[in-house]
Amino acid sequence: MDKILRINMGAQGGPKITVTPVGEYAGLGGRAMTSSIVSKEVDPLCHALGENNKLVISPGLLSGSTAAMSGRLSVGCKSPLTGGIKEANAGGQPSQMLARLGYAAVVLEGKPKDDTLYKVLINKDGAKIVPDNSLRLLGNYDLVEKLKKEFGDKISVISIGQAGEMKLTAASIACTDMELRPTRHAGRGGVGAVMGSKGVKAIVIDDAGMKMRSPKDPEAFKDATKRWVDGLKKHPVTGQGLPSYGTNVLTNVINEAGGYPTHNFMWGRFVGSSKISGETQAQTEIDRGGSATHGCHRGCVIKCSGTYMDKDGHYITKQPEYETVWAHGGNCGIDDLDSIAMLDRLDDDYGLDTIEMGATIGVAMEAGLAKFGDAQAAINLVKEVGKGTPLGRILGSGAGTTGKVYGVERVPVVKNQALPAYDPRAVQGMGVTYATSTMGADHTAGYAVATNILGVGGKLDPLKPEGQVELSRNLQIATAAIDSTGMCLFIAFAIMDQPETFQALIDCINSFYGLKLTGDDVTALGKSVLQKERKFNLAAGLGPEQDRLPEFFTKEPVSPHNITFQVKDKDLDKVFDW
C-alpha cells in the first residue's frame, strides 16, 4: 500500500491514469485516508457532481493482511446529499484485493468531457480504463454477471447501478462479496452519484499473482491476530449474537426498548416486529436452504450475514441487515420478510442506500403516495427509481428531497441524510450522534446503542440526557479510528468490553507496521480525522445550526415512553470540545 492510483476523467484526449507514491498520505488508511485527501484536495464549496470533487476509495491499514475482520473499504468525497464531507464504508472483497495490489487509494478526479461510460481494471500489471457503453443502465447484478464473463470469477467489483448513473443522491457504491454478488454497499451520502458523475460504472479488481501483505514482525503479528480472534469469539455479541442472527437480532431488542421507529417515526414500537425479527429471519433462511451465518469477506470470523432464499429456494438477496429490515419494514408498517428481502435486492441492484430508501418510502407514505403497511406499493415505488421516472428520481433523491417536494413536515433527516433505525427520543445518546456527526444522521458514526441499550462499554440510561454527550464523543472518536484500520465496526463490541482485545488490535497494527502505538495514539488518530472532517464541513457551510435533530423530535413525544429528545443545543455544541 505504498502507491495511489489517480484517474483524471477530464484529461484532454480521455481519462488519464497516474500512479504516484503515497507520499504525504503515508501511514493512513480507510477513513483517515479518504477524509485526509478530500479535506486537503477538494474545495468545500465545489459542486459535488462537478470537476472539483474527488471520489477516494481506500482500503484500511490492515486490509490485505491475515488479520481477521480487516476487509472494510472506505469511500470518501464531498457528499451530494449532505453538502459536507462523506466517508461510507463497505465489506466485501475489494478492500483486501486493492490492498494486496499495493494501492493505498484510488482517486477519481475531474469531469468527463461527454457521457461515455467507463470501466476500470486493476490487476498485477497495473491499471487501465476502457470505455464501455454496453454497461449503461445495467443493475449491479447483471453488471457483475457481464464482467464475470469478461474477466472470470476471481475478480471483485466496485460498481454503481442505475441510481448512480442517474446521479441520484441516495445512490450507493456496491462491492462484491465472496460469491461475487454485489451485496455490500458503501451506502450513505450519495457516493454512488459521485462515481456516476465521474462516468465510471465499474472498477474490476483482480489480485491474481499477489500475496497476502506481510507484517514487519511476523511472529508478533501471528500472536496478536490469534489473541484478536480469541477476543472476538469470546464476546457474546461478536461470538454468539451476530453469528447466529446477524444484525437483525436487534429488532426485538430495540422494539422492546421502545426505540424502534415505526410509521415514519410516529411510534416507538411495531406490532409486527416478531414477524421480521432476526430470530424469525434466521429460521426462515435455514428452512429454505439459505444460510443464517455467513461472512461478507474472507477473513471474517463474526459472520453476521446470511443468504435469503424465496419460498422455492431461489436466491433473492444476502441476509438483510437490521437497519434495512427496519427501514423497509417497521418504519413503513411492513411485517413481511419476503417483501423486505425483495426491497433489499432491488436497492442492491439499482445501487441505493437501503436506509435512505426505507426512510424515503416512509415519508412518501406520510405524503399519501402509498398506505403504511402496503408492501407491494413499497416495491412499486422503489421500482420507479430503477426506471428513472420523475417519481423515481424524487424518491432516489432521498427522504429530505421527497419531504420537500411533497410538503411533508415529519422528515427524519440530519444534514439531509435519513436517520437510521433507532429513535433518538428513546435512545438519546444515538440522537447526539445523529445530530453532531460530520456525516449527517448515521448510527455507525458513534453507536451509542451499545451503552444505552446493550450494556456494552458500561450502562447509561437511554431516556436521560445526562452523559450522552460524553458517550457520543468517545464513540465518535473511537469509530473514526476504527474506520481507518479497515476493521469491521462490529469489533467495537469486543474492544469496548475487553481491554485485552483492544490491546490485541493495537498489537496487530504495531507488529504489522513496526510501530509502538498506544491507546492514546488511537484516540489521537480518531480526533484528527474528526477535526479534518469538521473543518471541511464548516467551510462547506455546515455549522452548529446543522448539528440539530429535526424540530419534531423536540416537539412530539414518542410512545411508549412519551418522551422527546432532551439533550440541549448548547450541550450538542460541546461534543467536539475535547
Which of 450, 575 has the CB closer to a copy of itself? 575
Which of 107, 542 has the CB closer to a copy of itself? 542
CB of 405 to a copy of itself, least distance (A): 5
Binding mask 39-58 for a copy of itself (x = CB under 8 A): ----xxxxx-xx-x------
Stretch that binds a copy of itself, among 61-69, 119-127, 134-142, 402-410 (CB under 8 A): 402-410
Who contacts 504 (Cβ-Cβ below 8 Å, separation ≥6)? Answer: 224, 225, 227, 228, 230, 231
For a copy of itself, the binding residue among 126, 551, 557, 578 (CB under 8 A) is 551
The H-or-E segment that residue 529 falls in is helix 519-539
Stretch that binds a copy of itself, among 261-269, 275-283, 405-413, 417-425 (CB under 8 A): 405-413
For a copy of itself, the binding residue among 125, 545, 570, 577 (CB under 8 A) is 545
Which of 13, 407 has the CB closer to a copy of itself? 407
Residues 308-347 touching a copy of itself, rule: CB under 8 A, are: none
Please give the backbone phi and psi of residue 500, each rounded to the nearest 5 degrees, phi first: -70, -25
Gyration radius of the chain's alpha carbons: 22
* Helix, coil or strand: residue 125: coil
For residue 289, state whether it binds a copy of itself (rule: CB under 8 A).
no
Who contacts 86 (Cβ-Cβ below 8 Å, separation ≥6)? Answer: 38, 75, 76, 77, 78, 79, 188, 189, 190, 191, 439
* Helix, coil or strand: residue 360: helix
**Beta-carbon-side half-sphere exposure of residue 354 (alpha carbons within 13 Å):** 30
Which of 155, 395 has the CB closer to a copy of itself? 395
Stretch that binds a copy of itself, among 9-17, 338-346, 507-515, 542-550 (CB under 8 A): 542-550
Q: What is the DSSP string of 28-40?
A: --HHHHHHHHHHH
For residue 406, state whether it binds a copy of itself (rule: CB under 8 A).
yes
Residues 160-179 touching a copy of itself, rule: CB under 8 A, are: 166-169
CB 192 within 8 A of CB 163: yes
Residues 55-114 touching a copy of itself, rule: CB under 8 A, are: 80
* Helix, coil or strand: residue 557: coil
Q: Minimal CA–CA distance to 399: which of 412, 381, 384, 382?
A: 412
CB of 403 to a copy of itself, least distance (A): 9
Largest CA distance in the chain: 62
Number of residues that bind a copy of itself (CB under 8 A): 40
Query: Strand pairing of 3-8 and 200-205?
Result: unpaired
CB of 436 to a copy of itself, least distance (A): 14
CB burial class (10 A; 0-12, 13-18, 19+) of residue 122? buried
CB of 167 to a copy of itself, least distance (A): 3
Stretch that binds a copy of itself, among 198-206, 291-299, 400-408, 418-426 (CB under 8 A): 400-408
CB 111 within 8 A of CB 134: no
* ∠ Cα 139 415 80 (to 5°): 40
Which of 193, 276 has the CB closer to a copy of itself? 193
Which of 523, 564 has the CB closer to a copy of itself? 564
| Nine cell digits for residue 164 | 448512480
Determine the Cα–Cα distance for residues 383 and 15; give it in Å rounded to an integer: 33
For a copy of itself, the binding residue among 407, 516, 520, 577 (CB under 8 A) is 407
Determine the Cα–Cα distance for residues 358 and 543; give it in Å rounded to an integer: 27
Determine the Cα–Cα distance for residues 520 and 538; give it in Å rounded to an integer: 27
Binding mask 359-398 for a copy of itself (x = CB under 8 A): ------------------------------xxx-xx--x-
For residue 405, state whether it binds a copy of itself (rule: CB under 8 A).
yes
For a copy of itself, the binding residue among 8, 197, 262, 324 (CB under 8 A) is 197
CB 75 within 8 A of CB 34: yes
Binding mask 231-260 for a copy of itself (x = CB under 8 A): ------------------------------
Q: Cell 461534543 sits at which residue?
A: 575
Which of 107, 413 has the CB closer to a copy of itself? 413
CB of 467 to a copy of itself, least distance (A): 25
Q: What is the DSSP string of 375-437?
A: HHHHHHHHHHHHHT-HHHHHHHTHHHHHHHHTT-S---EETTEE--SS-TTTSHHHHHHHHH-
CB of 112 to a copy of itself, least distance (A): 12
Stretch that binds a copy of itself, among 124-132, 207-215, 399-407, 508-516 (CB under 8 A): 399-407
Please give the backbone phi and psi of residue 46, each rounded to the nearest 5 degrees, phi first: -70, 160
Which of 286, 539 has the CB closer to a copy of itself? 539
For a copy of itself, the binding residue among 404, 464, 535, 574 (CB under 8 A) is 404
Which of 74, 417 has the CB closer to a copy of itself? 417
The H-or-E segment that residue 309 falls in is strand 305-309
Which of 45, 208 has the CB closer to a copy of itself? 45
Q: Cell 470537476 sits at which residue?
A: 51
Determine the Cα–Cα distance for residues 322 and 325; give it in Å rounded to an integer: 5
CB of 388 to a copy of itself, least distance (A): 10
Query: 469-485 burial by CB neighbour count: b if 16+ within 10 A, else e?
Result: bbbbbbbbbbbbbbbbb
| Nine cell digits for residue 155 | 475478480
CB of 394 to a copy of itself, least distance (A): 6
Residues 425-484 touching a copy of itself, rule: CB under 8 A, are: none
Residues 509-538 touching a copy of itself, rule: CB under 8 A, are: 538
For a copy of itself, the binding residue among 118, 372, 550, 576 (CB under 8 A) is 550
Angle between helices 375-387 and 337-350 (to 10 degrees): 10
Please give the backbone phi and psi of residue 352, each rounded to the nearest 5 degrees, phi first: -130, 145
CB of 166 to a copy of itself, least distance (A): 6
Chain residues that interact with a copy of itself, rule: CB under 8 A: 43-47, 49-50, 52, 80, 166-169, 193, 196-197, 389-391, 393-394, 397, 401, 404-407, 409, 538-543, 545-546, 548, 550-552
